[in-house]
Amino acid sequence: TGGGYNYHEIRNILLTTPGNIRVDSRSNTALLCNDANENPVTFNIEVTNDTPIALNNIDFTNQIQDQSGNLLDISKFKITSLTATTGFTSSTLPTSTFPTNNITGKVGLAANTAGIITITGNYFKRSLPTNQNFKSVSTVNVTEITDGDLSNNTSTTIVNVRKCNILTNPSMPSYNK
């Protein structure tokens, strides 16, 4: 009925290789103000086991890096907490002491499940030049299976650092006399 064309937009589609592990990450903010004393940031990192068997020794690494890929010093960004309870069968990740912004450990996942690691930290005032960024880089690796698609074993989440100004409206009356 009619010779029309319908175009549909598809967003947020994830194509992956079945039968492997993968990692994906997000943050609660994409932008921080460089003039704020502290800027709390939360990274949620999802590790997925798409295999039909349980994996008990998934190597997990996360680093908070500057935009050049160097480990960010804890005087600039300090991890304050890490939880790895959602979905995991085991975890050797640290949960209380973070001497650097480098996290390593092992996690376990049941077959065809996912787990979420939440890392929270603070970016400190003017630690990086304005208009730069820092990033959370998460990597998973496993030797229990042959992972046919290594391209989805690393995920990077970037947070931009900007100068934030308080906007004023010059047409509004001023009541300071």
Q: What is the pLDDT of residue 5?
A: 62
State if pTM tops 0.85: no
**Cα-to-chain-centroid distance, residue 156:** 6
pLDDT tens per residue across span 130-150 = 999 999 999 999 999 888 888
pLDDT digits (tens, 9 = 90+) for 77-134: 999 999 997 899 999 999 999 999 999 999 999 999 999 999 999 999 999 999 999 9
CB-based contact 159:123 (threshold 8 Å) = yes
pLDDT at 166 over 80: no
Q: Evaluate the CA torsion angle 95, 118, 63, 101 in order and state its sign.
A: negative
- Arithmetic mean of pLDDT, 45-65: 96
- Asked whether the predicted pLDDT for residue 177 surpasses 50, the reply is no
